[in-house]
Structure 1
Amino acid sequence: MRFGITILPEYRWSTAAPKWRRAEELGFDHAWTYDHLTWGGLQDSPWYGTMPTLTAAAMVTSTIKLGTFVTSPNFRHPLTLTRDILALDDISDGRFLCGIGAGGGIDTTILGGDDLSPRQKVDRLTEFVELLDKLLTTDGVDYKGEYFETRNGRTLPGCIQQPRVPFVMAANGPRSLRLAAKYGAGWVTTGKKGVDDWYAGVAELSRRLDDVLAGKSLDRYLSLDDGGYALSSAAAFEDAVGRAAELGFTDVITHWPRAEGVYGGSEAVLEEVAADIIPRLRG
């Protein structure tokens, strides 16, 4: 089992930098931040840009992997995103993970225009991932789809990680799961919404992925906190990780405790988990 932590991009860097350094010191395998213009859970809070935040995090760490949780087509074009990915992959010396999903929430309409239907969102995601894959592996890309276009998209020098940075694909539906199986190095889920037994919903999604993969191997990341904040106590964290392991997940992700509100908790619990629980569960 590998362990990840999400640090929301809400802090001034003087406050955020020690958290990113501490995540590495505590032994987390990967650290993430949200890729939104605005997140509905903290719509009235300060919010900073994802790529500058991860670039700064790369400069104050040396081993921990860094990722977007998750990037979507809501406000990004594959070619401009490619430039950011190439820079971040280089600055981090090959530690970047690109989480990718269809997109939703306030970002869907904040730049204007109508919200897309679920089918249209997956259509757009398919184009987004297909073109991003081409741009990160091929120089001089001509592409014309319904949602995205490039004309001789130049993308030198290529990624540090070859053939490109890993995609960790957020997917629940049949089409997006097939897309994850085709392009992903990993699959990430927050579970099913509106179900009484969250873990039963996660198990169902995992079985759907099994059917799509047909024996192919894929790392599986579970966002633990959608089933209740995992760092509410050390015991809660250990129980959540155990249940994730039973369902075949290779990686789990929790959130850095905030002072109050969403993901409100104690950094003392985080320290206890990192010192006692994670080393034992990793073993």
Structure 2
Amino acid sequence: MRVGIVILPEHRWWIAEPKWRAAEEYGFHHAWTYDHLGWRTLVDGPWFGAVPTLTAAALVTSRIRLGTFVASPNFRHPVPFARELLTIDDVSDGRFTLGVGAGGDGYDTVVQGAKPLLPRDRTARFGEFVELLDQLLIKDRTSWHGEFFSAEEARSAPGCVQRPRVPFVVAANGPKAMSVAARFGQGWVTTGPPTEDHETWWSGVAQLSEQFTETLATQGRTSRVNRYLNLDSAPVYSLTSVQCFVDAVGRAAELGFTDVVAHWPRHDGIYSGSEQVVEDVAADVLPTLDRHL
């Protein structure tokens, strides 16, 4: 089991930098940040861009994998975004993973004056977004025309450090998005079902995992696809205590997940908790998981 940590892009760099360094020193396998223009209850507070944040994090770390959790087509076009991904992959010397999802309704959409898409259109746009990014990051030149995105002789030199391209971890809870994950993902990530009941959430996660297994079979996918679980989409924050974290990781492992992702504790509001729990998890839990990789 590999463990990742999300560091929200809400702090000035002199505060954020030690967290990214600590994530590596503590032994987390991957570290992520949100890719939004603003997010939920934090929309009126400080917020920084994901790409420059991850680029800065790459310069103060040397081993830990870094990624978006998750990027979406809500405010991005694949052509310029591919250039940014090439850059992060280069600066990090091949330690970058693209977490990518369909995006939902909310600030990212309305702040640009756009009307929210119907769910079926959002899923269709997502499929185009991932497919075009795949082409842009693999091919030297790409011409591609879809309903939502197009590219005309888009160049991609010098290409990714990681070959054939940076790995994709595709967020998917529905059948169509799962098909995208099965086709293009080196990893699949789920948030589980929306519910306030803890046991119902875990039951839903199990059902989604089974559904993804069926999707892989339908797609004829035979190569390994890692499975990521966002622990903090559950009704209970995973880093409430060390025991809470241990229990969550154990349940995820039983369901066949290869990776789990938690969130760095905040002082108040969402993901409210103590950084001491992170230190204790790093000291007492992560080394035991390493022995079982």
- Identify the TM-score tier after normalising by the shorter chain: over 0.9
1:234 aligned partner = 242
Normalising by the residue count of structure 1, what TM-score does the alignment of the two structures yield? 0.98
- In 2, Cα distance between equivalents of 1:268 and 1:122: 40
2:208 corresponds, among 181, 205, 209, to: 205
**1:195–1:201 CA contact under 8 A, matched in 2:** no
**2:59–2:91 CA contact under 8 A, matched in 1:** yes
Is the counterpart of residue 272 in structure 1 residue 280 in structure 2? Answer: yes
AA matched with 1:249 = F
**1:141–1:151 CA contact under 8 A, matched in 2:** yes
AA matched with 2:134 = D
Normalising by the residue count of structure 2, what TM-score does the alignment of the two structures yield? 0.95
2:59 aligned partner = 59
- In 1, Cα distance between equivalents of 2:269 and 2:115: 31
The offset of 1:282, in angstroms, is: 3.1
Correspondences of 1:1-283 after superposition (within 5 Å): 1-104=1-104, 105-194=106-195, 196=197, 197-214=200-217, 216=222, 217-227=224-234, 228-283=236-291
- In 2, Cα distance between equivalents of 1:261 and 1:115: 27
Residue deviations 1:83-139, cap 9 Å, x none? 000000000000000000000132122211210011000100111011110000112
Percent of aligned pairs sharing the same letter = 59
- In 2, Cα distance between equivalents of 1:195 and 1:33: 24
- In 2, Cα distance between equivalents of 1:79 and 1:203: 36
- In 1, Cα distance between equivalents of 2:5 and 2:114: 34
Residue deviations 1:199-232, cap 9 Å, x none? 0010010010010112732100001011111110
AA matched with 1:199 = W
- In 2, Cα distance between equivalents of 1:264 and 1:270: 12
The offset of 1:49, in angstroms, is: 0.6
The offset of 1:259, in angstroms, is: 1.1
- In 1, Cα distance between equivalents of 2:41 and 2:209: 26
Which segments of 5 or more consecutive residues in structure 1 lack a partner in the other structure? Answer: none
The CA RMSD over aligned residues, in Å, is: 1.0
Residue deviations 1:154-198, cap 9 Å, x none? 111100000000000000111110110110000011111136311
Which segments of 5 or more consecutive residues in structure 2 lack a partner in the other structure? Answer: none
4+ aligned runs moved over 4 Å, structure 1: none
